[in-house]
Amino acid sequence: MSFDAVLKFIPDYIDQFLRLVGGARRFFAGQELNETKALVRALLFLLNSSILAFVLRVPVFEGETVYWQTGAVTVVFYMATAVALGAVAFGCCRLVGGKAPLPGHITIFAYVAGISTIAFALATLIAGGIIQVNLPDQTTLYGDYMSRLMSGGDGLDKPKFAVLNESRELTFAILTVLAGLLVILAWLIWCWRAYGDLNKLDGRRTAGALILFLVIGYGVSSALALAQSARGITLF
């Protein structure tokens, strides 16, 4: 692929990003979600978002060799998780009476996940900035600390993390990350209406499918996160 071809993806990505954030339900309503072309565009959006999120997090994890060594694997894992959760959304909608085919569900979730990974990367960047400005000598340790925290919390009581554990800055950083997670949850709930439209479900059944998804999806994403952490990396 030529450099000019790559550049053509940029305005398309920005256009999709702005239209999606500006009105998710309207954005999805304007597409034939079950068509292969729509699915490919959604996966490209997710891929571009994942790469951008990886780059945004560089200032926080730049001191970690493993961050660069596992970059491609991290992006692949994130995309695989998003596709898997799209399939979970399909199953949950079917359980409450939905009839739409699988591709449309993956298409929707690919866009949802694309925005989510950017939101979480920005939250991570802000949280890391809090540490870098106030505790610059702890910056490298902070990246290790957060990687451990996101993968289960093993080893956070080690002596090398003593300064971080006792700092007010770490509390602010973790609260920032939690705020990012809450934004992602709100974004998922906001976009979930598109699944109701896709499957022609009423509000009650759409909400029921969402509740099922939150339960089953959490289990699936946790299992995939464990598989990823076994490779020494964590999801965005």
Enter the pTM of the model: 0.85
**Mean of the per-residue pLDDT values of the chain:** 83
Are 147 and 67 a contacting pair, CB within 8 Å? Answer: no
d(CA 17, CA 213): 24
**Using CB atoms within 10 A of its CB, is residue 95 exposed (0-12), middle (13-18) or buried (19+)?**
middle
The whole-number pLDDT of residue 1 equals 44
Distances (CA, A) of 219 to 22, 48, 56, 112: 31, 26, 28, 18
Instruction: Convert the pLDDT of each residue in 177-200 to its tens digit.
Output: 999 999 999 999 999 999 999 999
Q: Are 110 and 47 in contact (CB under 8 A)?
A: no
Report how far residue 12's alpha carbon sits from residue 63's, in angstroms, rounded to the nearest whole number. 33
Q: What is the pLDDT of residue 235?
A: 40
Q: Which two tokens stand for residue 186?
A: 């709100």
Cα 161 to chain center, whole Å?
Answer: 27
The rounded distance, in Å, linking the Cα atoms of 227 and 209 is 26
Please tell me the distance from the alpha carbon of residue 152 to that of residue 39, in angstroms, as a whole number: 33
Handedness of CA 174, 179, 182, 183 (dihedral sign): negative
Residue whose C-alpha is closest to residue 87's, from 197, 26, 95 = 95
108: left (phi over 0), alpha (psi -120 to 50) or beta: alpha
| CB count in 10 Å sphere of residue 19 | 13
Q: How confident is the model at residue 89 (pLDDT cuts 50, 70, 90)?
A: very high
Identify the H or E element spanning 81.
Answer: helix 71-95
Q: Residue 61's pLDDT band (boundaries 50, 70, 90)? A: low
Q: Indicate the SS3 state at residue 225.
A: helix
pLDDT of residue 3: 44
Over residues 136-191, the pLDDT tens digits come to 887 777 777 777 777 666 777 788 888 888 888 888 989 999 999 999 999 999 99
Burial of 168 (0-12, 13-18, 19+ CB in 10 A): exposed
pLDDT bucket at 225, cuts 50 / 70 / 90 = low
